[in-house]
Amino acid sequence: TSATLGLYGLGTMGSALSLNILEKGFALHVTNREVGMIGDFVREAQAEGLGDRLHPADTLQDMVAAMPAPRAIILLIPSGKPVEDTIDLLAPMLAPGDTIIDAGNSDFRDTRRRTRQMEDRGLTYIGMGVSGGENGARHGPSMMVGGSPQAWGGIRDVIEAIAAKFDGSPCADHLGPDGAGHFIKTVHNGIEYADMQLIAEVYGLLRYGAGRDPASIGETFERWNTGRLDSYLVEITGEILQATDTETGKPAVDVILDSAGQKGTGRWTAIEAIRMGHSANLVEAAVAARAWSTDTAARRAGAAIFDEPRRPVDLTEDELEAALVIGRIVSYAQGFRILSAAAAEFDWQIDYARTAEVWRAGCIIRSALLDDIATAFREDLPEGELIFAPTLASIMKDALPHLRKVVCAAHTGGHAIPALASALGFLDTMRTERGTTDLIQAQRDFFGYHGFVRMDGRENQHGPWWDVA
Ligand code: 6PG
């Protein structure tokens, strides 16, 4: 790159990404709001033999002043107000031709607005989704870039150098303008939420339905990770379930309060889907499950009032594996449905096959299935639906009876499986030629004279309930 590189924000992600950049041979200026962390980072870089090309500064102002123009400054700070305040501070220090890269989990609407504001000042703005946690940032994250093609041209060599590789191809690309990169990262996180929830539900059925202990379930996930479910999340689940708490000697999962946190990206995905007249119901289920989980006192009361015990379920590992595979395909497919709705609304040309490829390595949702999905996008998609792509549809046709059996058994046994049940609800809807929204339309017309379309195509028709006798 011709630009001088700078990075602001030496927290976990920023430090790891900085070491990655230095390791790939680029010079890097760094600074941090809290000055103490700068020295710590310099020592860390030196310890790894990466201190030579590192230029630390005590303040953002000093860093910018030390950087010859044109500059490209990566921000790795919490989204929302911290990013807003930093841009307010940074923009006046920069000159036309300089670039700001927001590499956090920002709301894509903020990114769209900031892109316009920065371009008005002659600056270049990039909203870049970065996935893969600390390890990814250090050794190769997946990166979803949003911005102008010129902006991408200016940073492409660095981004491709530090990205994860899949068969030698970098898992980073320019996927659209302004907010597109952050939107795609948001949807990635929505899929991440859904996949995590599906895995947790299958764990629950093995644990509380089949009465297995965490370590043995961990072995099952470890085995699944060598087959169709090959993925980062299944891999770490296998490892987590086999881990022991050092303090008590109990399985590590058993000492953790079952109350899930969330920072917002899963919720944004569900909200955007609904706002656009869609529904990613697996993401909704995952967000709901996390939200409900935090009502620990209410759940304790509920357990006492509705004291029906959770009953054993009789399901094979193969059936559960199939349910997880099909649930995972549906959650990816729902993610891509939202991407295409957003692409239409915001006039983005998103390459879906390329998006799936960018997710094949480095990110949290990386999985063997994404390679099949990338291929599926390059084949004929009946009605534009990923779930109807021949390769995926054939996997799903085999798996559907197993998903059905798992959902029935779980419900009969009183096990909460909101995501698995949502996948089945979606699939059964999508394979029902004549559903029951005729009745919904009749009800709307009955109480509100809303009108309906008759089967013969005539619009704005009303039912006999409006005929005056
Ligand atoms: C990733 C992760 C990362 C982060 C999310 C998790 O792709 O590397 O998604 O961005 O872990 O913020 O979100 P929650 O805290 O909402 O689970």
- Give the single-character DSSP code of 256: S
Supply the angle between the helices 296-305 and 281-293 in degrees, to the nearest 10: 90
Confidence category of residue 2, pLDDT binned at 50, 70, 90: confident
Which of the four pLDDT bands, split at 50, 70 and 90, describes residue 380?
A: confident
| Residue 260: alpha-carbon gap to chain centroid | 16
Q: Does domain 437-466 have CATH number 1.20.5?
A: yes
**Which residues does residue 101 pair with via DSSP β-bridges, in sequence order?**
74, 126
Give CA torsion, residues 437, 438, 442, 448, to 10 deg: 40
Atom of ligand 1 nearest to the CA of 265: 16
**Rounded distance from Cα 189 to ligand 1 centre (Å):** 6
CA nearest to 334, candidates 266, 261, 394: 266
Percentage with pLDDT > 70 across the chain: 100
Task: Kindly report the protein residue whose alpha carbon is nearest to atom 12 of ligand 1.
Answer: 263
Which atom of ligand 1 lies at the shortest distance from residue 189's CA? 9
The whole-number pLDDT of residue 222 equals 98
**271 has pLDDT over 80:** yes
Every domain of the chain with CATH number 1.10.1040.10 lies at 186-430
- Parts of the chain belonging to CATH 1.20.5: 437-466
Query: Is residue 79 pLDDT above 90, yes or no?
Result: yes
Range 422-434 average pLDDT: 98
| CA 77–ligand 1 middle distance (angstroms) | 14
Pocket test for ligand 1, best of 138, 144, 184, 189 (most atoms within 8 A of CB): 189
Find, among 110, 41, 36, 98, the residue nearest to 73 by Cα: 98
Mean pLDDT across the stretch 304-325?
97
Single-letter residue type at 246: T
Which residue, by CA, sits nearest to atom 1 of ligand 1?
Answer: 131
Tell me the CB-side half-sphere exposure of residue 80, using CA atoms within 13 A: 4
Determine the average pLDDT of the residues in 378-393. 93
Binding residue numbers for substrate: 105, 131-133, 188-189, 193, 263, 290, 444, 450
Res 203: pLDDT: 98
Q: Whose CA is nearest to atom 7 of ligand 1?
A: 131
What is the DSSP secondary structure assignment for residue 93, as one 8-state letter? Answer: G
The ligand 1 atom nearest the CA atom of 185: 7
Whether 66 contacts 96, CB under 8 Å: no
Q: Note if the bond before 92 is cis, omega within 30 degrees.
A: no
Architecture field, domain 186-430: Orthogonal Bundle (1.10)
Q: Are strands 169-170 and 165-166 parallel, antiparallel or unpaired?
A: antiparallel
* Sign, Cα dihedral of 369, 216, 320, 293: negative
Which residues line the annotated binding site? 105, 131-133, 188-189, 193, 263, 290, 444, 450
In degrees and rounded to multiples of 5, residue 129 shows phi and psi of: -80, 130
Q: Which of 265, 268, 283, 359 to mutate to test the pocket of ligand 1 (most atoms within 8 A of CB)?
A: 265
Nearest CA to ligand 1 atom 14: 262
pLDDT for residue 344? 97
DSSP letters of 267-278? HHHHHHHHHTT-
For the entire predicted model, the pTM comes to: 0.96
Residue of 77, 105, 233 to mutate, ligand 1, most atoms within 8 A of C-beta = 105
pLDDT > 70? residue 14: yes
Q: State pLDDT tens for residues 110-144.
A: 999 999 999 999 999 999 999 999 999 999 999 99
Q: Is the pLDDT of residue 177 over 90?
A: yes
Rounded to whole angstroms, how far apart are CA atoms 241 and 253? 7
pLDDT at 1: 61
- Tokens describing residue 97: 């031709």
CA distance 128 to 172: 10
> Which fold would CATH assign to domain 4-178?
Rossmann fold (3.40.50)
Task: Tell me which residues are annotated as active site.
Answer: 185, 192
Quick one: what percent of the chain has pLDDT higher than 90? 99
* Atom of ligand 1 at shortest range from CA of 264: 16
- For 384, the token pair is 């534009």
CATH 3.40.50.720 region(s) of the chain?
4-178
Nearest of 109, 121, 107, 5 to residue 64 by alpha carbon: 5
In the predicted model, is pLDDT for residue 469 greater than 80? no
Structure tokens at 136: 């990814």
* Average predicted confidence (pLDDT) for the chain: 97
- Show the ligand 1 pocket: residues with CB < 6 angstroms: 105, 131-133, 189, 192, 261-263, 265-266, 363-364
Listed in sequence order, the residues at least 6 apart from 428 whose beta carbon sits closer than 8 Å to its beta carbon are none
Q: Is the pLDDT of residue 208 over 70?
A: yes
CA-141 nearest atom, ligand 1? 8
Cα 359 to middle of ligand 1, angstroms: 14
If one counts every other C-beta atom within 10 angstroms of the C-beta of residue 192, the result is: 23
Q: What is the mean pLDDT of residues 64-68?
A: 98
Question: Tokens 């949290």 label which residue?
Answer: 364
